[in-house]
Structure 1
Amino acid sequence: MAETKREIERKYEATAKTAVPDLVGTGGVAAVWDEGVTELDAVYYDTRDLRLAADALTLRRRTGGADEGWHLKFPVASGIRDEIRAPLSETLPASLAGLLRSRVRHAPVVPVVRLRSSRDVRRLLDDQGRPLAELSVDTVHADRLTGTGEATWTEIEVELADGADEALLDTVEKQLKKAGIRPSASPSKLARALEETGAGTPPRPDGPTEPGTAGHAVLAYVREQIDAIVALDPAVRRDLPDAVHQMRVACRRLRSAFKSYRKVLDRGVTDRVGDELKWLAGELGAARDEEVLTARLDARLDELPNTLRLGPVRARLRIRSTRRADDARRTALAALDSPRHLTLLDTLDALLADPPLRKAAGRDAPDVLARAVLKDFDRLARRVEHALALDPGQERDLALHAARKAAKRTRYAADAARPTLGKPAKRFAKRVKAVQSLLGEHQDSVVARTALREIAVQAHEAGETAFTWGLLYGREEAAALAGERELPAAWKRASAPRIRAALSH
């Protein structure tokens, strides 16, 4: 069974003669407990082309020490990683293998480096004897296992204890710097071992486009979304907050870019990829949609006084949402484990390696990108104006939903253009986002009303009163009509001629 530990640490250069200063009195440190020397032996695994190292992931099998076993580390921020642990075994545990899948694909992970360390450990304790941090002086010997090469060095590592104030690391660092000890240039032992044995991670190719061209700008955005899809795969598997939503957004942004910038990338190629992105977003969508709906209905119930919450409404909503959330998560994980998903990831890599560039890809980026964004905006304008011309009802609901999708595409196109067009694109995207948010709130109300009717029927069939569900239905209906009344003003702000003029210049 895998467990996760948040690792917050800093590394420093040292030699065998480096003296660690006395840290008692530093940042609440009342005592330093010397735990002696532990011998650690770790084999690091990666693909032969070092795909994990390229993304700053480390996978190791370590013996010795209190936490021997398999460790997989994901970067969170500078000096912060999530370490996922599994018990010691001869082969890579399945719980960790799945988390590597989006990066390694079909390639085997093999031993690449062996690190043997003599770790001299000292615990920094507060006045109650509770641990604040662990300071270790590590003498490391690295052997390259996929080739030849070895290296030896000494480093100091300070790791924060669980629940301790991160400010302690700043205070300890000041003391170490006063003693002449400087931060390490390498983010991890593995990175240093690869560098010093002559096997640093290969650089990412520049690509076939020239800086300043439309092709260069669009492919940079496409690469950003593909990187997000790959990185969010293990986050979804770990059930991290907002991971499903962010992965779904990356799929949608990428698919939208293919459509918006069809003058740059050939849709004869990208449409097929877009269909697969639509499939993946759809498989992820059930989990996200259920999460949004449950949060909305919970909030609506919170707004009601107790006298209007009749029957076991909380229990009924909880049972419904739990069952549907479990089903949705199984669907999402099945999609990530499918050959179809791996094929999609391989296809995206191939698209970056050999992009289907059209003639406009070689033109100056500002003109091409601005034209694409404004073309999407014209499409949005037609849909909004059509929806506003309709009477309230189902037909208008459908038209507003179509306008919402057009607003999202326009906003994504403007976001992709921001590095090229700067502040005008940022302001434009902000105005369009306001329209999109209003339309999104309206669509959420439509979905909520459908769910409320289903719940009311189930409650009635179970012999419960459906009063509260009907009341919420009425409130959702009123909220939707209020949003429709706000839409003309929001649209007028977004479609102001000066906004358009600024983008095109």
Structure 2
Amino acid sequence: MATGTTTTNLGKTDTDRPTATFRGPAQAGAPNLAGVEGVRSTVAGEPVVLEFERYDSPDLRLATSGIVLAIHRTDDPVHPEAFWRLDLPDAVEGEQLRIPIAPPDVEGVEPDVPAELRELVQGVLRGADVTAVGRIRRVRTVGSLRDGRRREIAEIRRDEVQLATFGEATSLENWTEDTVTISGGPAGLLDVLAERLAATGAAPAAVTAEAELDRLLREAAPPPPARWRGKKGTAGAGVLGYLAEHADRLAAEDLRARRDEEDAIHQLRVAARRMRSALQAFSPVFQGPRAQALIEELRWLGRALAAARDSEVQEEQITAAVDALPPELVLGPVQAQITRHFARARAEGKAAAIAALDGERYAALRGAIEHFLQDPPLARAAGSKKTLDAALRKADKRFDKRVTAALDALAAGRDSDAAIHDARKAGKRLRYATELAGTPKQAKQLKAITKALGEHQDVVVGRQVLRELGAQAHADGENGFTFGILYGRAQAAAERVEAQLPELRRK
């Protein structure tokens, strides 16, 4: 996970002080302030150079994904500063991740992107090199407008701006930018100063220089290959649209997972599972080996992320179960042991998840998904809507068969855990298929049984964890009584689900 970053507000303005920004031609003269009511003198500061340099892959993958990776520098003699900045698409406006650049910054040597920031955007870059792609250079002078008592009543911050893009689409623009901030003086002072600036050729600025650079980079980026769009209502269009929706969800959750945000790994797994289920349930839509290869890689991703998610679920459920016990049944440092056990499990699971997301196999999977959406290996059946109905009936029969096998195992007194788990997987596949096929009523009905089967699976996994916790308590010389109580309750919960299964199936 990214570490060592700080979040800060850059360029925050005081909303209590009226402010306006104007853009004029390069090297425009300063506004004539003679006769402006309230202004008696102007005090100008020394020029300061500020640079904002954007970094991206040569094909501008970050820009097209709404991500800003940049270096800020200023040669202010009082507060010199240099830092990396990263804006992600879902970041709160005005907040960026930033990492200071330690001096000395060797002139002419392109700095390396910090590992903490590179890790966050690795899913977008997928191994591509990063280089400078654009720069904004400002030579800034701040003028303080004073009244007769030498009190500041306004500030005019003048920037001589140079904007450049690099690479194949090199461009260069220059202009003057004046930002006026009123802190006192007579009413209407901002309007008067705006008129004086207009006389120099300035007009209210429509966009910031950073937004202008972003626009130029987006326009310079090669357009991504178009995703396939078939005739609306056909099986091919329906399945590919569903896959595209969850491919985009997978990409969004990738960023959240790298930021260690709550539930991100779970949602990333859900996106992968929905895509895999669609490919499996509607296999007649495709021909050749590519769909099956994608299924296998999506299954690998789900398994690679499983440990991190399972640890979260089990810790939440076992902690809740302890909290629900009467105090007299909680013997020994139970919660401390739970915390120790899962702290390590969580750390190992998350490390394994990020290692998978940083690996070449995952990068290849993301590329394969996009290629599949752009050039799908469609079979003849993709042109018919009836293909969806037939596949749905097949998935329905498969689920019914798995539930029957689970009920038979229960009736015969055999170990039914594996059979119930198989029924759960078949139920989820059917549920996702009904969502894709546009039968929400059936999907809602299926949710109750798949939720119950999921709870059963969580209990099966939880019993194993409780056995481990009880054994560890004994080895540590502690009392394992509480974990035994929890194990018994978990067993009872599993049996309740098993008893409900016939009625859930009927509904």
TM-score (norm 2): 0.76
SS of 1:350 mapped into structure 2: helix
User: Aligned match of 2:440 in 426, 429, 436?
Assistant: 426
- Structure-2 separation of matches of 1:183 and 1:434: 58
* Residue of structure 2 aligned with 1:264, choices 282, 285, 308: 285
Letter of the 2:486 counterpart: L
Cα gap change, 1:272 to 1:294, in 2 (>3 Å): same
Question: What CA deviation, in whole Å up to 9, does each residue of 1:246-265 have, x standing for no partner?
Answer: 11112211211110111112
* Partner SS, residue 415 of structure 2: helix
Aligned residue for 1:488?
502
For the residue of structure 2 that corresponds to 1:389, the secondary structure is: helix
Letter in 2 for 1:322: A
Determine helix, strand or coil for the equivalent of 2:88: strand
What is aligned with 1:160? Answer: none
| Rounded Cα–Cα distance in structure 1 between residues aligned with 2:6 and 2:380 | 49
Q: Counterpart amino acid of 2:98?
A: R
The structure, 1 or 2, with the larger RCO (C-alpha pairs under 8 Å, 6+ apart) is 2
Distance 1:290 1:394, change over 3 A: farther
- SS of the residue corresponding to residue 263 of structure 1 reads helix
Q: Is the 8 A contact 2:23 2:204 kept in 1?
A: no
Residue 317 of structure 1 deviates from its aligned partner by: 0.9
Whole-angstrom CA distance in 2 between matches of 1:374 and 1:183 = 62
SS where residue 283 of structure 2 aligns?
Answer: coil
* Separation in 1, partners of 2:328, 2:204: 62
1:327 to 316, 332, 348: 348
Contact 1:219 1:352 in 2 (8 A): yes
Amino acid of the residue matched to residue 114 of structure 2? P
Distance 2:65 2:404 in 1: 46
Aligned sequence identity (%):
37
Please identify the structure whose Cα radius of gyration is greater: 2
The 3-state SS of whatever aligns with 2:291 is helix
Deviation at 1:70, TM superposition (A): 0.8
Q: CA 1:139/1:267 → structure 2, altered by over 3 Å: closer, same or farther?
A: farther
Structure 1 residues 308 and 395, CA gap change in structure 2 (3 angstroms): same
Amino acid at match of 1:384: V
Residue in 1 that maps onto 2:86: 72
Check 1:344–1:442 CA distance in 2 against 1; reply closer, same or farther (3 A cut).
same
Q: Deviations over 1:436-466 (max 9, x none)?
A: 1111111111111111112112212222222
Give the corresponding residue for 1:86: 99
Q: Choose the corresponding residue for 2:427, options 398, 407, 414.
A: 407
- Is the partner of 1:142 in helix, strand or coil? strand
TM-score by length of 1: 0.76
- Counterpart of 1:305 in structure 2 is 326
Mapping of residues 392-471 of structure 1, within 5 Å: 395-417=415-437, 421=438, 425-471=439-485
Aligned amino acid, residue 5 of structure 1: T
Structure 1 letter corresponding to 2:231: P
Match of 2:72 in 1: 62
Q: Tell me the residue number matched to 2:22.
A: 15
Q: What do the CA deviations read for 1:127-168 (whole angstroms, capped 9, x no partner)?
A: xxxxxxxxx9987542111233234578999xxxxxxxxxxx
Give the direction of change, closer, same or farther, for the CA distance of 1:282–1:153 in structure 2 (3 Å limit).
farther
Shift of 1:406: 0.8
- Between Structure 1 and Structure 2, how many residues are aligned? 434
**Does 2:309 correspond to 1:288?**
yes
**Equivalent of 2:396 in 350, 360, 377:** 377
Match 2:7 to one of 5, 8, 20? 5
1:272-314 C-alpha deviation (Å, 9 max, x unpaired)? 2222221221111101101100100000000012111001111
Q: Judging changes above 3 Å, is the alpha-carbon distance between structure 1 residues 118 and 241 closer, same or farther for their aligned structure 2 residues?
A: farther
In structure 2, what is the Cα distance between the partners aligned to 1:359 and 1:191?
A: 46
**Residues 470 and 198 from structure 1, CA distance in 2 versus in 1: closer, same or farther, beyond 3 angstroms?**
closer
Q: Give me the whole-angstrom Cα distance separating, in 2, the residues matched to 1:278 and 1:183.
A: 54
The unaligned stretches of length 5 or more in structure 1 are 18-34, 122-135, 158-175, 494-505
Aligned mates of 1:315, 1:296 — CA distance in 2: 15
Alpha-carbon distance in 1 for matches of 2:161, 2:259: 32
> What's 1:246 paired with?
267
- The structural deviation recorded for 1:68 is 3.3
* 1:45 correspondence with 2:58: no
What letter matches 2:364 in structure 1? T
Q: CA deviation at 1:44?
A: 0.5
> Which residue is equivalent to 2:171?
149
Cα shift readout 1:42-86 (whole Å, capped 9, x = no counterpart): 111112222111110111111028763111110117x63762212
CA contact (8 A) 2:22 2:204 kept: no
**Structure 1 pair 330/183, CA: closer, same or farther in 2 (3 Å)?**
farther
Q: Is the 8 A contact 1:10 1:183 kept in 2?
A: no
